[in-house]
Amino acid sequence: MNAIAPDALNELENALQEERRALLENDVEALLRSTQAKLAAVRVLQGTPAVAPVDRVTRLNELNQANHVLLTRRRREVNWALRHLGRVESAGVYDASGQPGARPQARCLGVG
């Protein structure tokens, strides 16, 4: 059984740490760079026919999931701000003729 070179795992861990920092600091440029680095590291790891230490992979997965939670929170904040500025995030709504761009309409789902 071959072990994955520590460099590939280190690059992934560094990218995940940078992604977390960028999310916490609202640094869009750093987020884009870290995402590219993370994807590059994952591609390298996917192309490596080897086995990594389970505990290390578990820690990296947990870090990635924590970053996902932060990213989801940021998206909610942006969507909230857009709604309050009178903008509606793209919702994939089509009009009766099948053309994109129809405004979503509020519907009453219950009687109070």
22-63 tens-digit pLDDT: 999 999 999 999 999 999 999 988 888 777 788 998 999 999
110 located within any domain: no
Give the count of domains, the chain: 1
52 located within any domain: yes
42 located within any domain: yes
Residue 18: closest CA among 9, 5, 27: 27
Q: Sorting pLDDT into bands at 50, 70 and 90, what band is 78?
A: confident
Specify whether the CB–CB gap between 9 and 46 falls below 8 A: no
Complete DSSP assignment for 89-105: -----B-TTS-BTPPP-
Burial of 57 (0-12, 13-18, 19+ CB in 10 A): middle
Q: Which domain holds residue 61?
A: 6-84
Number of Cβ within a 10 Å radius of residue 67:
22
* pLDDT of 107 over the 50 cut: yes
pTM beyond 0.85, yes or no: no
